[in-house]
Amino acid sequence: MAARDAIVIGAGIVGAACAAELAHAGLRVTLLEQAQPGTDATAAGMGHIVVMDDSPAQLALTHLSRQLWDNLAPSLPDTVEFDRCGTLWIAQDEEEMAEVHRKHATYGAAGVETEILDAAGLHAAEPNLAAGLAGGLLVPGDAVLYPPVAARFLVERAVASSAKFLADTPVASAQNHTVTLRDGSSLHADVIVNAAGASAGQLTPGLPIRKRKGHLVITDRYPGFCRHQLIELGYLKSAHSVSADSVAFNLQPRRTGQMLLGSSRQYTDESSAVDGRIVQAMIERAEHYAPGIGALSALRIWTGFRAATPDKLPLIGPSLADASVWLATGHEGLGITTSLATARLLADQLLGRPSPIAAEPYLPARFENAQKTGAHD
């Protein structure tokens, strides 16, 4: 197959992964980044590599991606801080324990190892959790990493495969095989990959993407306060929503001994300012699950914007209006996990290779009718 040119816009973790994959496959790739690698949503996220099963398509994509991260793990430099600490889904009551059993069965059917913990098992695994919780589901194969360094690592892999990387290079427009830079110059390629995250819609109008704001708090170093990525199963209720503001208990141990405390989801707030009301709700949720956490010291709070789609699946494949523009965006809160699978599916489609999983659920074309009827704004 003849080498083709591809321009990837955005060196967040998704764009960086796409550039690395396409360059590795032999395409002549140029990766454009408006700032520096991994400085936007990638830097704002937790860096949780997690298998999720909101839908069969989400399970397939996250599972494939976790396998790809496992394959990559031995090559990751120490500074990526890849740590297979596992995810522990926490059940408050018997109703949520039923969800534990359902999840256990679903993951098991997909070949994902899990372990059901009763109340005593949960307490043994995480002594700082509140008494009286019903149990949990441990997913030992899940991991955490430090996203900005992971993104830079992928950029460096792309460059090692002869990709060209241009940092501090904002793009003004991208259509019809032509990328016009903010400085007025233009680049041409067979394929343009729009991996601009929550800003993707500015380059490709009409995308069914909305910004979904999140808050995170980072603590000082308390090694051992928690040992797994902890998520309340109530998270499923809040993450399922596509409209209302919500918070859920989500606590991540970093290799440094620090912890990241989340999470929140808001559609209506376009400002990057920290919202005290949300932080308060997040912390009260955390104190409910981990009563000792209030005494720990918080160093910083920040916000970021997820690129959310209506069905909570990313857009991977050719755009509807312009055959030269492909999309790799809309990853919501799962961009770190699904970046590698996204790159694989995108490259497979571009190169006509078979994919390990079906590509259809993630094709932008699934929104064709919706866009025509204006069902999504």
Contact residues for other proteins, defined by CB under 8 A: 35-39, 43, 79, 148-149, 152, 167-168, 217-220, 234, 237-238, 241, 244-247, 256, 261, 274, 276-281, 283-287, 293-302
Q: Are 8 and 32 in contact (CB under 8 A)?
A: yes
CA neighbor of 73 nearest in space, from 173, 160, 142 = 142
CB of residue 165 to other proteins, shortest distance in Å: 13
Cβ distance to other proteins smaller for residue 188 or 237:
237
Beta strand pairing status for 186-188 and 191-194? unpaired
Q: 171 by DSSP, 3-state: which?
A: strand
CA–CA distance, 187 with 150 (Å, rounded to integer): 27
Cβ distance to other proteins smaller for residue 39 or 324:
39
CB of residue 234 to other proteins, shortest distance in Å: 8
Cβ distance to other proteins smaller for residue 185 or 241:
241
Cβ distance to other proteins smaller for residue 262 or 364:
262
Cβ distance to other proteins smaller for residue 55 or 241:
241
DSSP codes joined into one string, 187-251: EE-SEEEE--GGGHHHHSTT---EEEEEEEEEE---TTS--SEEEETHHHHHHH-SSS-EEEEEE
CB of residue 105 to other proteins, shortest distance in Å: 25
For 371, other C-beta atoms within 10 Å of its C-beta total: 16
Handedness of CA 101, 102, 106, 109 (dihedral sign): positive
Q: How many CA atoms does the CB half-sphere of 243 hold within 13 Å?
A: 2
Cβ distance to other proteins smaller for residue 332 or 348:
332
CA neighbor of 2 nearest in space, from 23, 21, 27, 24 = 27
CB of residue 282 to other proteins, shortest distance in Å: 8
CB of residue 241 to other proteins, shortest distance in Å: 6
CB of residue 202 to other proteins, shortest distance in Å: 21
CA–CA distance, 279 with 169 (Å, rounded to integer): 34
CB of residue 294 to other proteins, shortest distance in Å: 3
Beta strand pairing status for 191-194 and 5-9? parallel
What does DSSP assign to residue 130? P
Cβ distance to other proteins smaller for residue 163 or 217:
217
